[in-house]
Amino acid sequence: MHPFTLDRPRDLAAALALRAQAGRNDAPAEYIAGGTDMVQLLQEYVRQPERLVSLAGLLDNRIEIGPQGLRLGVAATMAEVAADPAVVEQFPLISEALLNSASPQVRNQATMGGNLLQRTRCPYFRDVGYAACNKRAPGSGCAAIGGENRWHAVLGTSDDCIATNPSDLAVALVALDAAVEIRGAGGSRSLPLVDFHRLPAATPHIETVLEPGEVIAAITVPASSAARRSHYLKVRDRASFEFAVVSAAVALEMDGARIRQARIALGGVGTKPWRVPRVEAALAGASLEPQSLRQAAALAAENAHGRGHNDFKIELMQRAIVRAVEIAGARA
């Protein structure tokens, strides 16, 4: 690891004053929570911050459910949230997405905040033996374009970066219209999660809207009946302990045998957790007939752009939507 100073501030205010910033490789200071991603990045020299600011003990870890919905303190671990009885009952999509992520050991250690801010699995980003990676070293080029890109995104890409956002949790949360509470030295703000991650465009090294010193403090998810009738579908090369090749988070409000409203987000295919409003619109009022599901799912492929090895994802993500809607629709 590159030598760094580890700060363990006494309270959150002291931490925020240190102006650490997640999701940017050029930030001189960065937070560390559970460390499950951060330590890997440090060990592989992908991140070389001068200063690490520990969030341990500074942020809320409570899981609260009320009539308004769910509020997750970001310090809650993946394991705690996945196993919380109220989450399992009222927001099964979140629990399923978490249980399909990583391994029990990682989930015991990893936090909600760290999960939303984990860095891409793009192998070129994570191997400093490659000089070219705009996300790691702005302006250096993109080794994935023209390289091995089976792992990469087909939606929201740019000519500067085609890396996926790897979080399963974020896909489920985006489908459920979750918001994040951001806290900085100057106060708090709340933002829909779907607007939290940025598209790579010409600045893939800036991944979120966080400003220096800001942290995510909480995640809120509005109550809805759709949250119960949901399914998280994850396609991967092996049965467990792997990031998604393609995933689909689906939550449905039904009107008898017809879909009143569908909320759908995709993982493994987008440069950020990817909501598909056009598919949702086409499904409003539709039946669960394969034909109509298939037609609606095809709209997800609009503007999708493969780079060779990942072309198959364009077809696979449509099939994943169909399957996940079928499974969610069949739920009581």
Partner 1 sequence: MTTALIGQPISRVDGRRKVTGAATYVAEFQAPGLVHGAIVRSTVANGRIASIDSSAAQQAPGVIAVLTHQNAPKLAYRAHKGAPDPGIGERLHVLQADRVSHQGQPVALVIAEGLEQAVHAAMLVRVTYAPEAAITDIARAEPVPLTPPSETRRGDPDGALAAAEVKLGQTYVIPRENHNPIEMHATIASWDGDSLTLWDKTQWVHNVADEIAAVFGIPARNVRVISPFVGGAFGSALRTWPHVTLAALGARVAGRPVKIMLSRREMYYGTGFRPHTVQRVALGASRDGRLGAILHNGDQETSTYEEFTEALLNATGFLHSCPNVNTRHRLAPMNVHTPTYMRGPGEASGIFAIESAMDELAVALNIDPVELRLRNEPEQDEFRQLPFSSRSTRECYQAAAERFGWSRRNSEPRSMRDGRQLIGWGMATATYGAGRAPASAMARLLPDGTAEVASAASDMGPGTWTSMTQVAAETLGLPIERVRFTLGDTRLPRAPVHGGSITMASVGSAVQAACRKAREDALARGGGTNDVTEAMRRIGQPVEASVDSTPGDESQRFSMHAFGAVFVEVAVDPDLGETRVRRIVGAYGAGRIVNPKLARSQCVGGMIGGIGMALMEHSVVDGRNGRVSNANFAEYAVPVHADAPPVMDVIFVEEHDPHVNPLGVKGVGEIAMVGVAPAITNAIFHATGKRIRELPVTPDKLL
Ligand X SMILES: Cc1cc2nc3c(=O)[nH]c(=O)nc-3n(C[C@H](O)[C@H](O)[C@H](O)COP(=O)(O)OP(=O)(O)OC[C@H]3O[C@@H](n4cnc5c(N)ncnc54)[C@H](O)[C@@H]3O)c2cc1C
User: Min. distance of Cβ 133 from partner 1 in angstroms?
Assistant: 12
E strand spans, the chain: 5-7, 29-32, 51-54, 63-66, 69-73, 179-184, 187-192, 215-222, 230-235, 246-255, 258-267, 274-275
The yes or no reply on residue 196 touching ligand SF4 (CB under 6 A) is no
Q: Is 38 exposed, middle or buried (0-12, 13-18, 19+ CB in 10 A)?
A: buried
Cβ count within 10 A of residue 314: 18
The site string for ligand SF4 over 102-141 (x = CB under 6 A, - otherwise) reads: ------------------x-x-xx-------xxx------
Closest listed residue to residue 60, CA positions, set 82, 36, 76, 84:
76
The yes or no reply on residue 81 touching ligand X (CB under 6 A) is no
The yes or no reply on residue 174 touching ligand X (CB under 6 A) is no
Using CB distances below 5 to 8 A depending on partner kind, what does residue 161 bind out of ligand X, partner 1, ligand SF4, none? ligand SF4
Crossing angle of the two packed helices 290-298 and 312-329, in degrees rounded to 10:
140
Cite the DSSP H helix spans in 214-303.
277-283, 290-298
Window 199 to 238, contacts with ligand SF4 (CB under 6 A)? 204
Q: Which residue is nearest to ligand X (CB)?
A: 114
The yes or no reply on residue 143 touching ligand SF4 (CB under 6 A) is yes
The yes or no reply on residue 25 touching ligand X (CB under 6 A) is no
3-state secondary structure of 210: coil
Using CB distances below 5 to 8 A depending on partner kind, what does residue 142 bind out of partner 1, ligand SF4, ligand X, none? ligand SF4
Looking only at the bridges linking them, the beta strands covering 63-66 and 69-73 are antiparallel
- Contact residues for ligand X, defined by CB under 6 A: 22, 30-38, 55, 59, 74, 101-102, 106, 109-111, 113-115, 117-118, 166-169, 215-216, 243
- Contact residues for ligand SF4, defined by CB under 6 A: 120, 122, 124-125, 133-135, 142-144, 161-163, 204
